[in-house]
Amino acid sequence: MKISKKAFRLLLAALMAFSFAACGSVAEADKSLDEMKEEIRAQYGENKRITDGNYDKSLAVKCVNGTFVGKKKEGVIAYKGIPFVGKQPVGELRWKAPVDVVPDDGVYEAYYNGKSPCQVDDVWQKASLYVQGEDCLHLNIWKAEDTSAGGNKSGASTRVEKKPVIVWIHGGAFEVGGTVERREEGTNFVKENPDVILVSIEYRLGVFGFLHLSHLPDGKDYPDAQNLGLMDQIMALKWIHENIAAFGGDPDNVTIMGQSAGGGSVTLLPLIKGSHAYFKRVIAESGSPVFTRSTEEAIACTNELMEKLGCKTVADLQKLDVRKFVDEADMLTLRVWAERDGNYLPLDPYEAYAKGAARDLDFLQGCTKDEMGYFVVGFGLEGYNAFAAERKMKKLAQLTEKEKALVESFCENANDVSSEYSSTSRLFDQLVFIAPLFRMSENQTRAGGKSYTYYFTVESSVPLLRSGHAVELSTVFNHPEETLVTGRRFDETFSKTMRKMWVQFAKTGNPSLSADISPDGKAKEWPLYDLQDKKVIVFDEFDIHPARESELKILDWERTYFLTRYYCL
């Protein structure tokens, strides 16, 4: 699906209008937005080398590439802007694989977020919210202060039992986003769950992270350009594996977690050779291998961009102003995905799962009930329906006549009169999110692996958004004050229970809760997905419960499941 820059601005404006509805005037709404901008930009800064020895040794952790000094707040120590590469991907290293770190005895501040990846100007107002740069490969770590008798001044815990580690990979269609997002800041999460360590990582986005170049006249020197964003993620995971023990984390108990493109990432990383050394569990929210493209599609996108820019070689691209290059690349919005190149990623990721590529990993994965509601709000019903009709036409052109008939039959019966959602919106719910989710659960289970599958039904108070894409994120990270998408605060006990399940999964590989650790004092049994009953757990705000898919009729197995063969494009 291709959404223009203008459409993204409309989406942001619509969501903010609902979020600021309680404000008494436009001026008050603008003030709220200005305060948000100021708060976000204050998180950026230059982490300097400390040469005078004047720093708090209890907040310092020695790593391979330096000793990093964090900041403590409310019993949680945050280490921000730690580089996980030896050289940043700038200049001659643009479009090259990430460079590993080298030993460094220096002491450095880890007080501020590093730069966010370069991304389309004005999309989600990132130009004004984010400090951007190609030198963006940094990560952030949150850990609870060690107050045990065995704690020492090195900042590393001396406890025998290391803590499970959760590594967050942000979403944003592989084109926008960053770890500086307020709703994904880790202090609140770790304060509530001090028995885990949380890490968030940056990776190259858009045309810097996923641009096919090897077919160009001088492209042979850039064999990895199409999947650099994933390579960055692997390099970050390697750094975590080698250094997290110094923070009190268990390098052998790492869970990778992501939403949207981040969810797509964490379902692709297990398919990369050697990756299983760095993690053992996966939490995928509203994301799957559907967010990929073929080599042919990737080349076509590059050629379109080259023609628009008047460029013929990589050398030509290198001469362009970075801001102009990123802005012109807006023409490829929602078409810049990871590439199924048959080398770094398999040509058929789903089949790789069916053959057992990740049978040794535990999965927790799911989607929301009204994923496309997020986009319905942004466009408005009329605008969205026109956009979706165009995308449906392009999708139908890829199908056989029999498949077209099945899709048309689905659409004839899928109108949701209660919300005025178009049948095409429900079709894209199935194509982009629901069908890929169940194919993942089916194939992982068929191969002998474990999948815990969920269906999130809690609704935002934003009209038409309902249980839309990303509606659960402020709950997952314990930021109830972030109501831009939710429009309201979700029930506190429900929210704590959901987070507890995520943490329990990271600890043990099973998200079920016994009564003694469940926030409401009642046991919560989350059954494994199986090929016969196809059980999922339903995240209803006041009734978290397991159910068979057939009872809920989440997926149309006959008329939409086959669409996973066609991915997102």
Q: What is the pTM of this model?
A: 0.93
The H-or-E segment that residue 499 falls in is helix 492-508
Q: DSSP secondary structure string, 474-485?
A: HHHTT-TT--TT
Core vs surface per residue 352-371: b (16+ CB within 10 A) or e: bbbeebbeebbbbbbbbbbb
Quickly tell me which residue has 């004050």 as its tokens.
Answer: 481
How much is the pLDDT for 419? Answer: 53
Q: How far apart are the first and last CA of the chain?
A: 6
Query: What residue ranges define each of the domains in the chain, with the CATH number in brackets?
Result: 43-253+287-347 (3.40.50.1820)
Query: Per residue in 343-392, pLDDT tens?
Result: 999 999 999 999 999 999 999 999 999 999 988 887 777 878 887 888 88
CA distance 99 to 80: 20
How much is the pLDDT for 334? Answer: 82
Residues facing residue 110 across a β-bridge: none
Cα dihedral value 108, 109, 112, 116, nearest 10: 0
CA distance 164 to 252: 8
Strands 197-201 and 138-144: antiparallel
Core vs surface per residue 494-504: b (16+ CB within 10 A) or e: bbbbbbbbbbb
Give every residue of the chain whose pLDDT is below 70, as ranges: 1-33, 121-128, 147-160, 415-420
Q: Annotated catalytic sites, by residue?
A: 260
3-state secondary structure 212-275: CCCCCCCHHHCCCHHHHHHHHHHHHHHHHHHHHHHHCEEEEEEEEEEECHHHHHHHHHHHCCCH
3-state secondary structure 114-130: CCECCCCCCHHHHHHHC
Q: Which two tokens stand for residue 87?
A: 């050289």
Among candidates 103, 160, 18, 569, which has minimal Cα distance to 336? 569
Cα dihedral value 429, 432, 436, 438, nearest 10: -10
